[in-house]
A = this chain, B = another copy of it.
């Protein structure tokens, strides 16, 4: 049984940005030498997320539009008053909306591995979802199996 964890860094450039990280997931799987098992992808940030869907630019616009509709940036978030009080000297932004979106989208996904490949469907890509960029971000790919 093998255990293989790898941390990847990335730079985001926009406030809301959906980045295809399928290649990094495949690279980690290859390095792990696991043929049967599971891959967990984890986002170690509170204003970003991990999801799996179709990498189609117009669809990604639709997703952004929905998320801004569910958690509008112009709403008042109590969290932003907390940050103004305590952290403005550290250069923090008003990012209540981004935390809320991360709550809805979640921090991890797990993909089974069969015959050395993740069982991703024909149109599935793994996404890192930036909700409060641009920033330096990380994600972790964790492979368990044999």
Chain A residues close to B by CB (< 8 Å): 1, 3, 5, 7, 36-38, 40, 42, 44-46, 51-54, 56-59, 61-63, 66, 70-71, 77-79, 81-82, 96, 99-100, 102-114, 119-121, 123-124, 138, 140-142, 144-146
Contact = CB atoms under 8 A, between A and B. Distances in A.
Contact of A109 (B61, B81, B108, B113): B108
A62 B102 CA distance: 12
The DSSP consensus for interface residues of chain A is mixed
Contact of A44 (B104, B106, B113, B120): B120
Contacts of A124: 44-46, 107
A81 B59 CA distance: 10
